[in-house]
């Protein structure tokens, strides 16, 4: 990448990878860079409304959606914004009901799902989803366990939530105890089911569907 960073948001849109924000050395970044696999090149393409890290990032129908995370002045954000990579325009959308960071996000059936995370006081098992069609948030039944930094992916009409971390100590920044459990949500039945666990515990991992 052009800028070395961690705890940034990453998503794919129209054949490009977009990396936004994150930690850069001891600073919080507000830069956006894009990877073009055709020419094997990263380049800076824009900026965030304000620097932030540990947010969720997804793409849907030509736009990138950024939710939650932490900024320099506020550790628990609950806002949702859309970004048009062609015009560079950011647009504020309705906020989540719960401020959170280090959560998992994924798109399933015209909804943006926001799963778990933390608000510095506790690790969360709560789940909510945003409808791209109605521009409204709604709650989803909670997961069976709290998860910070889970890997999340949607496949065959189900939402899979994989691993993550938990802690019993407060106040804290990073959750301490990684877990191996996996569960999936079925929107048709509005319920969660247990899935086979990982072979080893992990948190802040990535998951993709190919």
- Whichever domain contains 70, its CATH number is 2.40.10
Q: What percent of the chain has pLDDT over 70?
A: 96
Q: Do residues 91 and 149 share a domain? A: no
Q: Is residue 111 part of a domain?
A: no
Q: Please state, in angstroms and rounded to a whole number, the distance separating the CA atoms of residues 181 and 188.
A: 22
Q: Do residues 58 and 19 share a domain? A: yes
Q: Do residues 134 and 90 share a domain? A: no
When divided into structural domains, the chain yields a total of: 2
Q: What percent of the chain has pLDDT over 90?
A: 90
pLDDT on residue 168: 52
Q: Do residues 140 and 210 share a domain? A: yes
Mean pLDDT over residues 14-34, rounded? 97
Residue 188 has pLDDT above 50, yes or no: yes
Q: Please state, in angstroms and rounded to a whole number, the distance separating the CA atoms of residues 191 and 160.
A: 12
Q: Are the C-beta atoms of residues 182 and 193 closer than 8 Å to each other?
A: no
Q: Are strands 127-131 and 136-140 parallel, antiparallel or unpaired?
A: antiparallel
Does residue 41 sit in helix, strand or coil?
Answer: strand
**How many C-alpha atoms does 170 have within 13 Å on its Cβ side?**
7
Q: Do residues 11 and 64 share a domain? A: yes
Q: Do residues 206 and 123 share a domain? A: yes
Q: Do residues 2 and 91 share a domain? A: yes
Q: Is residue 64 part of a domain?
A: yes
Q: Do residues 123 and 210 share a domain? A: yes
What integer best gives the mean pLDDT of the chain? Answer: 94
Q: Are the C-beta atoms of residues 140 and 185 closer than 8 Å to each other?
A: yes
Q: Do residues 123 and 68 share a domain? A: no
Q: Is residue 105 part of a domain?
A: no
Q: Give the pLDDT band of residue 175 (cuts 50, 70, 90).
A: very low
**pTM of the shown model:** 0.94
Q: Is residue 135 part of a domain?
A: yes
Domain range for residue 160? 119-210
Q: Do residues 83 and 145 share a domain? A: no
């Amino acid at each position: 990448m052009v800028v070395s960073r961690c705890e940034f948001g990453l998503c794919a849109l129209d054949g490009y990878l977009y990396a936004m924000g994150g930690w850069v050395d001891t600073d919080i970044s507000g830069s956006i860079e894009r990877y073009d696999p055709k020419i094997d090149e990263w380049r800076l393409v824009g900026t965030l409304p304000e620097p932030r890290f540990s947010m969720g990032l997804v793409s849907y129908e030509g736009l990138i959606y950024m939710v939650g995370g932490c900024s320099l002045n506020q550790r628990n954000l609950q806002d949702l914004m859309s970004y048009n990579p062609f015009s560079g325009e950011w647009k504020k959308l309705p906020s989540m009901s719960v401020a959170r960071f280090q959560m998992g996000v994924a798109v399933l059936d015209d909804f943006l799902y926001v799963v778990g995370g933390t608000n510095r006081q506790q690790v969360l098992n709560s789940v909510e989803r945003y409808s791209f069609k109605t521009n409204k948030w709604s709650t989803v039944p909670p997961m069976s366990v709290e998860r910070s930094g889970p890997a999340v992916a949607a496949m065959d009409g189900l939402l899979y939530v994989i691993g993550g971390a938990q802690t019993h100590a407060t106040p804290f920044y990073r959750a301490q105890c990684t877990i191996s459990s996996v569960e999936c949500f079925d929107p048709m039945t509005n319920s969660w089911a247990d899935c086979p666990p990982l072979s080893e515990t992990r948190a802040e991992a990535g998951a993709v569907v190919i």
